[in-house]
Amino acid sequence: MNSRPTIQSPIPMPDLPKLSPITSTWMKELMGKSLLISELIEKHGSPINIHQPDAMEDNFISYHKVFKDFGLKHKIFFARKANKTKGVVRKANSIGMGIDTASLQEYQQCIEMGLDPSDLIVTAAVKNKKLVESAVKNGSLIILDNSDECELVQRVAMDQERSVDIAFRVSGFLAKDQKLYSRFGFDIDEIEDFITANLLDSDHFNLLNYKGLHFHLNGYSIQERGIALTQCLALAQKLLDKRMKTEFIDIGGGFLMNYLESELEWDYFNQQLRLAVGNKREEITFENQGLGLHMSGGVLLGQLKTYPFWSPVTKGEFLRGILSSQSQSGKMAGTLAKEMGIEIRMEPGRSMLDQVGLTIAKVAFRKKDQKGNWLIGLEMNMTQMLSGSADFLLDPYVIYQNKKAQAEPVEVYFTGAYCLERDILLKRKIALTQLPNVSDFVVFVNTAGYMMHFFESSAHLFPLATNLIWNRKSGDFEIT
């Protein structure tokens, strides 16, 4: 059970919880240009995704500084799956990042854009023959997940008469006397024997050039990532004793970012959600959905199944926590990696896109349902702002075409265009200063990381949202 403390605030909190998003200057500037937004929606349809990739620089620096503090050789790869636009890939490449590709299409597009194949890695969960052929031909490193992939890569390398750089994804790390389960990767307790049997004691995989180890953990635990890193370092030492050098360890992604201005608002929302699900106050989510919480036998069970939208330790400081983890020798993991001459790699996605994008949708209708709730229908669908999180817990902005001086506040739900009862864009009830009119605009900020594209579909033959990059200096917008 996930309990939170009682909120004792010197500032009176509103009855309906607010979750105020951190909003960058460029976003506020754009939202002040209602006529321009109207023109963009008229030209490209609703919704539109607008990006400002320059914001990636600060996110990159946050990580780079920590590596520099540790004196570590490092390489940062942008997790391409977090956003499909070419503009963010170009920006990542221009500031010195590699690109982590998770499909044939992602990989080929990077090649077509002229990126150096040595700056690309292939981490796809399923690697078909065409993807492997392309990666081997171009000389990009492939992260191998299982023995069948090893066989496939070996056959392709034989066909092309060339060797290929590879790393092994590992999992099953021991934390608090229990193995961390993952469906991905080789078990860390078995990979040493596998490497010994197939790369050292035989030439079975003679065309696979071992370069390093890779892991990617579910969730957002600094401690578990630190444990994984220290256990990979121990494995690297065992391999070195067998004269097999580990050049790098890739610690994957899942580095937290913070979306919200106020920890107090976050705690108050959590408190009020628990009260609502427990039927101790009126609902604050559509049909009183618990977002992971539920009542059973009069007892509140479960935990919030959303991204932790408020987090005090993020980006570079999150990385610092991992590198500061203590190894069995008593040394920090980052210090030990430096002494062993091992490069540390990482693959941030969401956190590299903090403050990079927003989504704007047009109001199509307003109506009251049978319960008296205001429903605001938008010209977008739920897949156009969707991730693995049970909800996107940020308050949106509304751009009113006719802002009233003395308006009546209203509480609303935003609904989408799919013919599904569950197409509720935000599960939370949102407090607004006035009821939006048809053709007003609703702005969801900080959506570039996973929210825009990861689950976007074109059911009903709806077109996918247009993705734009805004050049603030020229005022131009480029489709990306």
Does the pLDDT at position 177 exceed 60?
yes
Residues of the chain with pLDDT > 90, as a percent, come to 94
In one-letter notation, the amino acid at residue 449 is G
Four-CA torsion 361, 367, 373, 378, nearest 10 degrees? -10
Q: Which residues pair with 430 in a beta bridge?
A: 412
What are the tens digits of pLDDT across the range 38-77? 999 999 999 999 999 999 999 999 999 999 999 999 999 9
pLDDT band at 187 (very low <50, low <70, confident <90, very high): very high
| Res 410 pLDDT > 50 | yes
Residue 6: is its pLDDT beyond 50? no
Angstrom distance (rounded) from CA 362 to CA 444: 12
Start-end of H helices in 95-190: 104-112, 129-138, 147-160
> If pLDDT is split at 50, 70 and 90, which confidence band does 329 have?
confident
CB of 257 within 8 A of CB of 354?
Answer: yes
- Domain spans in the chain, listed from the N-terminal domain onward: 25-52+355-479, 54-256+312-353, 263-302
Identify the pLDDT of residue 473: 87
Q: Considering the chain, what is the average pLDDT of its residues?
A: 95
Q: What is the DSSP string of 11-60?
A: SPPPSSPP-PBP--HHHHHHHT-HHHHHHHHHHH-S-EEEE-GGGHHHHH
- pLDDT at residue 10 tops 60: no
For 148-171, the pLDDT digits (tens) are 999 999 999 999 999 999 999 999
pLDDT the model gives residue 12? 65
Burial of 234 (0-12, 13-18, 19+ CB in 10 A): middle
Name, in order, each residue with C-beta under 8 angstroms of 317's C-beta and a sequence gap of 6 or more.
66
- 25-52+355-479: CATH, from 2.40.37.10, 3.30.559.10, 3.40.630.30, 3.20.20.70: 2.40.37.10
Pairwise pLDDT comparison (3 vs 39), residue with the higher score = 39
Q: 233: closest CA among 263, 252, 213, 207?
A: 213
- Please give the single-letter amino acid code of residue 167: A
Digit-coded pLDDT (tens) for 188-235: 999 999 999 999 999 999 999 999 999 999 999 999 999 999 999 999
Say which residues have a Cβ less than 8 Å from residue 267's Cβ, sequence separation at least 6.
Answer: 4, 5, 7
**134-151 pLDDT, tens digit each:** 999 999 999 999 999 999
CATH code: domain 54-256+312-353 is 3.20.20.10
Residue 349 near residue 449 (C-beta atoms within 8 A): yes
Phi then psi for residue 191, to 5 deg, are -70, -35
Cβ(336)–Cβ(346) below 8 Å: no
Q: Prior bond to 53 cis, omega within 30?
A: no
| 163 compared with 14, residue with greater pLDDT | 163
pLDDT tens digits for 77-115?
999 999 999 999 999 999 999 999 999 999 999 999 999
The residue with greater pLDDT, 4 or 256, is 256
Residue 11, pLDDT score: 56
| pLDDT confidence of residue 406 | 83
